[in-house]
């Protein structure tokens, strides 16, 4: 690909869905052995819904993401008049089913279902 902006945009948008299947793209050059590239794990962004206020910290929000895969980043978005939205970038294995929610908490503070 000749255009660096297009190249970066496509790789940053990875993974792509094409005809309801994963399309995983990786940077490659002629010096690289394609057998050494990891096409099984891809970064996705998930949003956490239903977190109690005391759980809306960076350290706490890494733990639900770690149940899916390797946490790469945690970001908070706060909109005027709305609750805080947490997004986690997680490298997941594309061969495993994606969970839609988890049961999170402890006996002291209580437990709740967290939707992804």
The per-residue pLDDT for 62 is 67
Signed CA dihedral, 19, 23, 29, 30: sign only:
negative
**How many C-beta atoms surround the C-beta of residue 47 within 10 A?**
11
DSSP 49: B
Domains by residue range for the chain, with CATH: 1-38 (no CATH), 40-116 (3.30.70)
Q: Which two tokens stand for residue 104?
A: 């999170």
Could you tell me the pTM of the whole model?
A: 0.68
pLDDT tens per residue across all 116 residues of the chain: 678 888 788 777 777 888 888 788 888 788 888 888 888 888 888 887 777 776 676 666 667 777 788 888 888 877 777 677 788 888 888 888 877 777 777 777 777 787 77
């Amino acid at each position: 690909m000749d255009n660096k902006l297009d190249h970066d945009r496509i790789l940053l948008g990875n993974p792509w869905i094409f005809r309801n299947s994963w399309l995983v793209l990786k940077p490659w050059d002629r010096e690289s052995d394609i057998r050494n590239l990891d096409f099984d794990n891809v970064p996705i962004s998930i949003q956490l819904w239903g977190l109690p206020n005391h759980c809306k910290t960076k350290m706490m929000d890494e733990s639900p993401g770690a149940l899916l895969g390797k946490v790469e980043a945690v970001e908070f978005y706060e909109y005027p008049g709305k609750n805080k939205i947490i997004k986690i970038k997680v490298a997941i294995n594309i061969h495993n089913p994606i969970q839609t929610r988890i049961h999170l908490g402890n006996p002291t503070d209580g437990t709740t279902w967290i939707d992804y």
